[in-house]
Structure formats: structure tokens, C-alpha cells
Amino acid sequence: MSTLKIEDYDRLRSKLPNRTGGWVPGTAVYCRGYDMMDDLVGRVDFFQSLVLNITGQLPEERFAKWLHAAHICVSWPDPRIWCNQIGAYAAMARATVNAASSFGNLAADSVMYGQGTLPIGTRLIQRLHTQHLNEKKSVEEIVDQEIERKGGKVNIMGFARPLASGDERVVAMRRTAKNLAYQDGAHMQLALAIEELLYNRYSETMNFTGYLCAFMSDLGYSAEQVHRIFALIVVNGVTASFSEEAEKPVDSFLPLRCEDIEYTGPAKRALPDMTDE
Amino acid sequence: MVNRSVKSRKEPFVKKASTNIWQEQPVEHNPYLVEKTHLRGYDFDELTQHCDFTEMFYLLFLGELPNRNQKQLLQLLLVTFISPSPRHPASRSAMSLGGGKTFPQHILPASLGIAGGEYLGGRQVQLCMQLIQDNHQIIPALWLEEQEARLAEADKALLAEGRIIYGFGQQYGEIDPYASLLADKFLGKSFSGPHLTWCAGLVEELKPYCIGWLQTGIVAAVLCDLGFPPHAGAGLFQLIQAPGLLAHGLEAYPKSRTEFPFVRDEDYDIVDT
């Protein structure tokens, strides 16, 4: 069943084939066929090189500009946001900024918000688009089916959001995309149609995840590629929260009295005789 | 016309976080400092005098002190899986972190992250626990019969990785004999539970598919028998393996970088794409 045999494992014990690139000391550092120092450094954007590393394709400059905008608009310097809290706690614990940025960023690998929602949202809009196109399902049928799948809840990945209705990030990113001369593709058109229906029925709108997944799907990216490209999307806000709290005295970030944690467990009780067991 | 302007939902957030686990009694003159603590209702000072690690572990997570069988089962789990193999990606990460002179405080969390994966890691334990809990009322042979069509169409690589029937698969193209040995430590004992027994039955039925126990499958079954919910599986697996990961990382830390293999330039093949 395995695709590899013992002789394959033996061959790979000390040999390392790599399609992305690598360092040939004294010659060059290669990246997907480019000489990094001569062809890429100072010539392409960081996000172009990120997408190149992940997909093997060097994207156009305007896509890098769109990625920059997406990374800015989703990463806020507000320590109340769950991932940013980790940055603030890291500062309070006097952990390193790398611990803060790494683990705060990891916190957003979540099904509620952040990067963890992106592969789910991308798979969903691509699946719904296929149903819309091939099975001729109407937008109404699609919405009803997804609400039924969630036991009657309006809980469709990419639509609605915690804490507030509406989404200023979608407005900003739609404006940015327009300025970069991007047209709405088939996935975005479907997402907008779903949004319109949800808005009319429930006053809920598309959220940033829904926008991003539809946009990336229109450009042909897979769910896995989307997750990889946006792996660090909240790090900016996490580091901001770390930097703010690192300057303050320890224990000063929302300090808690003993009574501020409500104990809801068993009442005080005596230990049983431990020699019996 | 869709209006995307933002309006707070004004959700009714509670004023205080709550916990069933830990209760702190403040000193009189400073409400931030602690005078006495209780764990799950028991005086913590008394617990430290009378309980061993396994009892405290069980109490902490499950809310009650364990009976004899529960304690034996948990203790065997904790000692059997205290360390992944040094060839496990998480152990190799720990050694690489140590050998790379990463700040020592990062060795454990970074390697634990790798121990959370869907292949031989915490995520696989969680998904296996879900599979067991959803299906253990069905006789393994019948359950497998129901899965026949799905298995025939399944991606063979994923099946081997234990990512179709989570927790059961192959290592290096074969059933892992060592995992089978470890499973035997838990089977047929006074403390063996129904979930593990169901999994052992499943393993018998899976032989024609050349699929057997993965270590994650054993951990998942035992955690089910101990009464843990599936979502606890990932983190508990990481916690159980943590001592071994840290030990490998700390052992590597004082070594020089030449005491670890480094692929020679002539063996590093940049494939032309």
C-alpha cells in the first residue's frame, strides 16, 4: 500500500532531493530556478517570493500589493483579540518576542477566526461553486442546504463574524482590488450572491475569510496553498500587543484578584483514605 | 443593497472567567496574593502530602481521584508513551532545536507543535478518539463491512498514514510490530476497557488490508477508556510525550553542530523544475 519500499527509504537516508531550491556554497542560492541574490533580491516583493516558494510560480506585482493590503487589514494592534492576547501575555511573562509572535500567530489557527478558517472557507466556496455550476443549484438552495447542514444555524464559513455584524475589512479589500484592476471572478460573484441573500434574510454579511477565500479561488489557488500563503497573517497585531505590554510593569495587563476567577467546582471536601486504593 | 457597516452585536460577555479546577483564597491584606488553594475541592496542601503524580493528574483533568484500575491504566499510559522514538519528527525537531542552540525555553513548545500532527501526532489521536466513540457500539467486522466501499476508493497513502481509519495504518510500508507489542501491554488486564478491546477487534479485521495499530491508536483507545472527550486527545498526547521530547532536546543542547548529520552538498539535489 505504501508508495515507498525499503530500498527507496535506504536511497533517501542521506540524499535530499528538493524542488524548491537551496544553497550551493560558492555558487548561488537557488529558488525555483532563480538565482536569489541576482534575480530576486531588490527586484521582487517579499510576498512574490513567498508565493514563488509555495507554488513555484512568481506572481504579478499587483497580487503582491493585494497580499500586503490583506495582511495589514486583518492584523490589528488590539490586545483584546484572542491571538493578540497571547502577545500581551508573552510580554507580561517576559517571554521573547519570538515566543509572542510565533504562539500568538499559532493561536489564530482556529476554526473561529484567523488562518485556521481559510482552508475550510476555500474548500467550501469551491465546493459551492461546483454545485452552482455543475449541479445548477440556485443560491437559495445552496444557502438552505448549508444552514440545514449546520442544524438550522446561520453558520456558514466566510459569512457573519464574532463580536459585530458587517465587515470593514471587506470594504477596504474590495476597494483595494478595484484599484488594482481586479474583476470579480466566478467564486466572488457566488460569494456576493450568497451575501446578498444572507443580508436580506438575516442582516449578515460576508466576512474577511469569505472574501479572501473567494478571491484566492478565483485566482486558482487551492485550500492548502491559501493556508500556506497566509500562515503569518495575524503576526503584525500580535507583535504590536507584545511591544505595548513589554514596556509596562509585570502583572499589569488586566490584573486579576483571586476573586476575579469564579470557582464553580466541587465544594471543599476531605480526602478519602488513600491507602484503600 | 448589502450594507457592510460594522455594528457591535453587544454580546453578553460574563464579568469573570470561571473554573471547576482551582480555587484560591486570598490573604487578608492583599486580594492578589494567595493564602490557601483547593484543587477540585480538596485542600491542595493535603493532596501534595498524600497523592502521587498519577492521582493528581487524574484528579486535575477528570475531577475525581482515580480508583485502582483507573490509576493503573493511566500510569501505564504515561510511562509507556513518555517519549516518542528519536526518529519521530517531533523528537528530531527537539534535537534540531537543541543542536541549533535555540533558546532552551522554546525546545519543548516548538517540538510539541510537531507532535500535534495528523500523522503519529496529537491530531491523529483526537480524530481516532472521535472514530472510536462514534462507532464502538458496532461490532468491528460489521463496521468494517460498512466501510468497504470507502476503503476501496480511499487514497492508499492516506490509508497507510492512518488518516482514513485514524490511528490505524502502516509504518514504512508494513504493520508496525512495535505498536502491536505496546498494545498488548494494555490488553487482557483487569484495567483494560471496552474501547481498547473494540480497537483490538478492529485490528484483527484490518489484517487483510495490511493495516495495524499505530501508537496514536493505542493512546486514543486508552484515553477513551479513561473517560476523556476527543477534543482532549491532541493536547494529552502532547503532554504525555513532552518529557521525552524535552529530554532529547536537552541532550542535544550542549553538543556541537558537527555532532549532528548535515547533508553533504553533493547529496543535496536541487531538482530542476
- Interface check for A25 against chain B (CB to CB < 8 A): the answer is yes
Are A256 and B32 a contacting pair at CB < 8 A? yes
Nearest CA in chain A to B64: A266
- Rounded Cα distance between B237 and B242, Å, is 9
Q: Which pLDDT value is given to residue A4?
A: 86
Are A22 and B270 a contacting pair at CB < 8 A? yes
- Interface check for B13 against chain A (CB to CB < 8 A): the answer is no
Q: Which pLDDT value is given to residue A1?
A: 66
- Interface check for B106 against chain A (CB to CB < 8 A): the answer is yes
Chain B residues touching A5 at Cβ < 8 A = 173
The conformational region for residue B261 under phi > 0 = left, psi -120 to 50 = alpha, else beta, is beta
- Rounded Cα distance between A84 and A68, Å, is 19
- Interface check for A96 against chain B (CB to CB < 8 A): the answer is yes
Cβ partners under 8 Å of residue B215, min gap 6: B81, B84, B120, B176, B179, B182
Q: Which pLDDT value is given to residue B273?
A: 58
Phi then psi dihedrals of residue B257, to 5 deg: -65, -20
- The sign one gets for the Cα dihedral A11, A17, A23, A27 is positive
Q: Which pLDDT value is given to residue B261?
A: 87
Q: Which pLDDT value is given to residue A274?
A: 79
Q: Which of B23, B50, B51 has the CB atom closest to A263's CB atom?
A: B23
Q: Which of residues 56-95 of B touch A (CB under 8 A)?
A: 63, 65-68, 71
Are B4 and A205 a contacting pair at CB < 8 A? yes
What one-character DSSP code corresponds to residue A39? I
Q: Which pLDDT value is given to residue B16?
A: 93
| Partners of A168 in the β-ladder | none
- Rounded Cα distance between A276 and A271, Å, is 12
Residue (of A245, A105, A97) closest to B106 by Cα position? A97
What one-character DSSP code corresponds to residue A258? G
Q: Are A246 and A239 a contacting pair, CB within 8 Å? A: no
| Helical (H) or strand (E) element with A215 | helix A208-218
Q: How many residues does chain B have?
A: 273
Q: Which of A30, A98, A167 has the CB atom closest to B270's CB atom?
A: A30
Q: Which amino acid would we find at residue B154?
A: A
- Rounded Cα distance between A69 and A226, Å, is 16
Q: Which pLDDT value is given to residue A3?
A: 77
Q: What is the mean pLDDT of each run of 10 residues along chain B (273 residues)?
A: 89 92 96 96 97 98 97 98 95 92 92 93 97 97 94 93 96 95 96 97 96 98 98 97 97 92 88 73
- Interface check for B256 against chain A (CB to CB < 8 A): the answer is no
Are A166 and B4 a contacting pair at CB < 8 A? yes
- Rounded Cα distance between A196 and B93, Å, is 48
Are A1 and B156 a contacting pair at CB < 8 A? yes
Nearest CA in chain A to B60: A265
- Rounded Cα distance between A73 and A86, Å, is 19
Chain A residues touching B71 at Cβ < 8 A = 277
Are B26 and A258 a contacting pair at CB < 8 A? yes
Distance from CA of A276 to the nearest CA of B (A): 9
List, in sequence order, the alpha helices (H) in A15-166. 46-55, 61-73, 82-92, 97-107, 117-134, 139-149
Q: Which of A2, A199, A257 has the CB atom closest to B173's CB atom?
A: A2
Are B68 and A277 a contacting pair at CB < 8 A? yes
Are B24 and A6 a contacting pair at CB < 8 A? no
Q: Which of A164, A199, A274 has the CB atom closest to B8's CB atom?
A: A164
Q: Which pLDDT value is given to residue B50?
A: 96
Phi then psi dihedrals of residue B24, to 5 deg: -115, 135
- Rounded Cα distance between B216 and B222, Å, is 10
Q: How many residues does chain A have?
A: 277
Chain A residues touching B40 at Cβ < 8 A = 265-266
Q: Which of residues 97-156 of A touch B (CB under 8 A)?
A: 98-99, 102-103, 106
- Rounded Cα distance between A180 and A109, Å, is 29
Chain B residues touching A3 at Cβ < 8 A = 156-157
Chain B residues touching A269 at Cβ < 8 A = 41-42
Phi then psi dihedrals of residue B39, to 5 deg: -110, 115
Q: Which of residues 183-222 of A touch B (CB under 8 A)?
A: 192, 195-196, 199, 205-206
The angle formed by the CA atoms of residues B93, B85 and B226, to the nearest 5 degrees, is 105
Structure ipTM: 0.80
Quick one: angle between helices A97-107 and A235-246, nearest 10? Answer: 140
- Rounded Cα distance between A210 and A188, Å, is 9
Q: Are A50 and A231 a contacting pair, CB within 8 Å? A: no
Count Cα neighbours of A111 within 13 Å in the Cβ-side half-sphere. Answer: 3
| Helical (H) or strand (E) element with A241 | helix A235-246
Chain B residues touching A268 at Cβ < 8 A = 38, 41-43
Name the stretches of chain A with pLDDT < 50: 277
Long-range contacts of B206-211 (CB under 8 A, 24+ apart): B206/B144, B206/B165, B206/B168, B207/B175, B209/A1, B209/B151, B209/B159, B210/A1, B210/B170, B210/B174, B210/B175, B211/A1, B211/B159, B211/B160, B211/B165, B211/B168, B211/B169, B211/B170, B211/B175
- The sign one gets for the Cα dihedral A9, A14, A15, A18 is positive
Task: Dump the DSSP string for chain B.
Answer: ------EE------SSEEESSEEEEE-SS-TTSEEEEEETTEEHHHHHHH--HHHHHHHHHHSS---HHHHHHHHHHHHHTSS--TTSHHHHHHHHHHHTT--HHHHHHHHHHHTTSSSSSHHHHHHHHHHHHHHTTS-HHHHHHHHHHHHHHS-HHHHHTTTTTTTEE-BTTB--HHHHHHHHHHTTSTT--HHHHHHHHHHHHHGGGT-EE-HHHHHHHHHHHHT--HHHHHHHHHHHHHHHHHHHHHHHTTS-GGGS----GGGEEE---
Are A255 and B32 a contacting pair at CB < 8 A? yes
| Helical (H) or strand (E) element with A34 | strand A34-35
Cell of A54: 509555495
Sketch the domain layout of chain A as residue ranges. Answer: 19-59, 117-229
- Interface check for A1 against chain B (CB to CB < 8 A): the answer is yes
Q: Are B247 and B83 a contacting pair, CB within 8 Å? A: yes
| Helical (H) or strand (E) element with A172 | helix A168-179
- Interface check for B55 against chain A (CB to CB < 8 A): the answer is yes
Write down the architecture of domain A117-229 according to CATH.
Answer: Orthogonal Bundle (1.10)
- Interface check for B243 against chain A (CB to CB < 8 A): the answer is no
- Rounded Cα distance between B158 and A248, Å, is 49
Distance from CA of A203 to the nearest CA of B (A): 9
Distance from CA of A27 to the nearest CA of B (A): 12
